[in-house]
C-alpha cells in the first residue's frame, strides 16, 4: 500500500504544481520538478521511490518521447530544410565540443565530459512553442525554423546518446553490436513506410480504442526492441511516434495517449527525477553551476543566431531562433535520467546537470519574451 500512497501524493501535488506554475507563469515541467524536490527525501521525505515508482517512471519517459515523435511535424521541416538542419547541427556540435572541453578541464573524465555535451545538445521546444503561441509568432518563418530544427535536434541527440551508451556499456564485439543498431534503423525505416498501410487493416477491426491500443503496442514493442539491441528504449518510442504521426489517426492517438501519460505516468517521471537530486553540489560548486548555466544558454543561442544570419534571415528572426533553441526541459532531463540509470554518471554529476537544466529552462521563456517585445516595439 506504500506505493499506492506515494502515487496518490505525487498525483495530488502534480496537480498543485500545474496550477501554481500557471499562476507564477513558469514552465509546468519546472513546477512539477520543484514539487518533486520538496517531496523528495532531501526535504520533506514523503516520496522515497521504489520498484513500482521506477517502472511507472520508465513508462512515463517512453510515453513522453512517443508524444514528442507524434508532435514532430516533418512537413514543417521540409519547408525550411536548410536553415532547420543548419540550426540543429550547429546546436548539437557546439554544445558537445564546448561542454566536453570545459567539463574535462574541470576535472571530469572524458566519457563524463562528453555526456555533459550530449545532455545540453538536446532542445525542448514545448516551452518555446507556448511563448510563441502567446505572442502570435509560432506561424512565422522563425517559428517554423525553430520547430523544424527541434525535430532534427531531437533525432540527433537521441542517436548520439544511443551510440555513446553502446560504446560506454558495450559488451562483446562492438562491430556486431553496431551492425545490430544499423539493422534496427533499417527496420525503423520500413516501419515508417508501412505504418499507414497497417492502419488501414487496424481501422477495420471491431475493437474499442483500437487506434490507441495499437499505437501503444507499436510504441512499447519498438522500445523493447531498441533496448534489446543495446540502444536507449526512448529511441524506439520516439520513432514509433514519428511513424504514427504520418497516419490519419495521429490526432486521436495523441489525445488518448496524452490523457494516459499526463494523468499518471509522466508526472511520476518528473517527480522521480527529483528523488536522486543532492543539493550539496549547489553549495560546494556554485561557480561551476553558474558557468555551466551560462554555457548552456550561449552554446545554443550563438550557433542558432549565426546559422540564421548565414541563411540571410533578419537580425530579429535570428535572435528569436537563437533564444527559441535555448530551452532544455524534458529532453535534457530524459538524457540525464538515462545516464544515471545506465550508470554512465553518478548522483553528484546528475544533480549538477539537473540543477543547470532547471535554471536554463526557467530563463529561456524570459529571453524569448525579451526578443519578441523588442521586435514588437521596433514594428510599432
Q: What mean pLDDT do residues 62-88 have?
A: 82
How remote is the C-alpha of 77 from its chain's centroid?
18
Has residue 257 been placed in a domain?
Answer: yes
Q: Quick: pLDDT tens for 348-363.
A: 888 889 889 888 888 8
Has residue 255 been placed in a domain?
Answer: yes
- Cα–Cα distances in angstroms (integers) from residue 102 to residues 65, 129, 325, in the given order: 29, 31, 21
Q: Quick: pLDDT tens for 78-101.
A: 778 889 899 999 999 999 999 999
| pLDDT tier, 218 (very low <50, low <70, confident <90, very high otherwise) | very high
Cα gap 355→352, rounded to integer Å: 5
Among 68-72, 114-118, 184-188, whose mean pLDDT is lowest? 68-72
Q: Higher pLDDT residue, 68 or 217?
A: 217
CATH number at residue 127: 1.20.1530.20
Contact between residue 244 and residue 215 where contact means Cβ atoms under 8 Å apart: yes
Q: Quick: pLDDT tens for 152-204.
A: 887 788 778 877 876 766 555 567 767 787 888 888 888 888 888 888 888 88
Percentage of the chain beyond pLDDT 70 is 95
Residue appearing with cell numbers 516533418: 74
Q: Which domain holds residue 246?
A: 56-379
Has residue 30 been placed in a domain?
Answer: no
Give the per-residue pLDDT at 171.
53
Q: What's the angle, vertex CA 268, arms to CA 123 and CA 63, rounded to 5?
A: 55
Report the domain count for the chain.
1
Has residue 60 been placed in a domain?
Answer: yes
Give the per-residue pLDDT at 101.
93
Give the per-residue pLDDT at 172.
52
Q: What average pLDDT does the structure give for the chain? A: 84
Percentage of the chain beyond pLDDT 90 is 18
Has residue 168 been placed in a domain?
Answer: yes
Q: What mean pLDDT do residues 292-303 have?
A: 94
Q: Higher pLDDT residue, 304 or 2?
A: 304
| pLDDT tier, 306 (very low <50, low <70, confident <90, very high otherwise) | very high
Has residue 6 been placed in a domain?
Answer: no
| pLDDT tier, 246 (very low <50, low <70, confident <90, very high otherwise) | confident
Has residue 198 been placed in a domain?
Answer: yes
Alpha helices in the chain (DSSP H): 2-24, 28-39, 51-70, 74-79, 81-105, 110-121, 126-134, 141-168, 174-202, 210-228, 233-244, 250-260, 266-275, 280-284, 286-310, 315-324, 329-341, 347-379
pLDDT value at 305 more than 90: yes
On the CB side of 135, CA atoms within 13 Å amount to 20
| pLDDT tier, 257 (very low <50, low <70, confident <90, very high otherwise) | very high
Has residue 294 been placed in a domain?
Answer: yes
Amino acid at each position: 500500500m506504500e506505493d499506492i500512497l506515494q502515487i496518490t501524493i505525487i498525483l495530488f501535488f502534480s496537480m498543485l504544481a500545474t496550477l501554481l506554475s500557471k499562476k507564477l507563469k513558469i514552465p509546468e515541467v519546472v513546477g512539477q520538478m520543484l514539487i518533486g524536490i520538496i517531496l523528495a527525501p532531501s526535504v520533506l521525505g514523503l516520496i522515497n521511490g521504489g520498484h513500482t515508482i521506477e517502472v511507472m517512471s520508465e513508462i512515463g519517459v517512453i510515453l513522453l518521447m512517443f508524444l514528442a515523435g507524434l508532435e514532430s511535424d516533418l512537413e514543417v521541416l521540409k519547408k525550411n530544410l536548410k536553415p532547420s538542419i543548419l540550426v540543429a547541427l550547429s546546436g548539437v556540435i557546439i554544445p558537445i565540443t564546448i561542454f566536453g572541453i570545459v567539463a574535462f578541464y574541470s576535472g571530469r573524465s572524458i566519457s563524463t565530459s562528453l555526456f555533459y555535451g550530449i545532455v545540453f545538445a538536446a532542445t525542448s521546444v514545448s516551452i518555446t512553442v507556448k511563448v510563441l503561441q502567446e505572442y502570435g509568432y509560432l506561424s512565422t518563418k522563425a517559428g517554423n525554423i525553430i520547430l523544424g530544427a527541434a525535430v532534427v535536434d531531437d533525432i540527433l541527440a537521441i542517436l548520439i546518446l544511443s551510440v555513446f551508451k553502446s560504446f560506454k556499456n558495450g559488451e562483446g564485439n562492438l562491430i556486431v553490436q553496431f551492425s545490430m543498431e544499423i539493422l534496427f534503423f533499417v527496420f525503423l525505416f520500413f516501419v515508417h513506410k508501412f505504418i499507414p498501410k497497417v492502419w488501414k487493416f487496424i481501422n477495420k477491426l471491431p475493437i474499442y480504442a483500437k487506434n490507441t491500443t495499437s499505437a501503444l503496442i507499436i510504441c512499447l514493442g519498438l522500445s523493447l526492441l531498441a533496448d534489446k539491441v543495446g540502444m536507449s528504449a526512448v529511441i524506439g518510442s520516439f520513432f514509433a511516434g514519428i511513424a504514427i504521426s504520418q497516419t490519419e489517426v495521429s490526432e486521436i492517438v495523441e489525445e488518448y495517449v496524452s490523457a494516459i501519460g499526463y494523468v499518471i505516468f509522466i508526472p511520476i517521471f518528473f517527480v522521480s527525477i527529483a528523488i536522486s537530486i543532492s543539493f550539496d553540489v549547489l553549495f560546494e560548486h556554485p561557480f561551476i553551476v553558474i558557468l555551466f548555466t551560462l554555457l548552456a544558454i550561449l552554446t545554443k543561442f550563438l550557433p542558432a543566431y549565426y546559422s540564421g544570419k548565414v541563411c540571410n534571415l533578419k537580425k530579429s528572426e535570428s535572435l528569436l531562433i537563437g533564444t527559441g533553441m535555448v530551452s532544455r526541459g524534458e529532453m535534457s532531463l530524459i538524457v540525464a535520467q538515462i545516464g544515471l540509470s545506465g550508470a554512465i554518471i553518478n548522483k553528484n554529476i546528475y544533480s549538477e546537470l539537473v540543477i543547470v537544466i532547471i535554471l536554463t529552462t526557467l530563463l529561456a521563456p524570459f529571453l524569448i519574451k525579451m526578443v519578441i517585445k523588442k521586435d514588437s516595439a521596433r514594428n510599432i
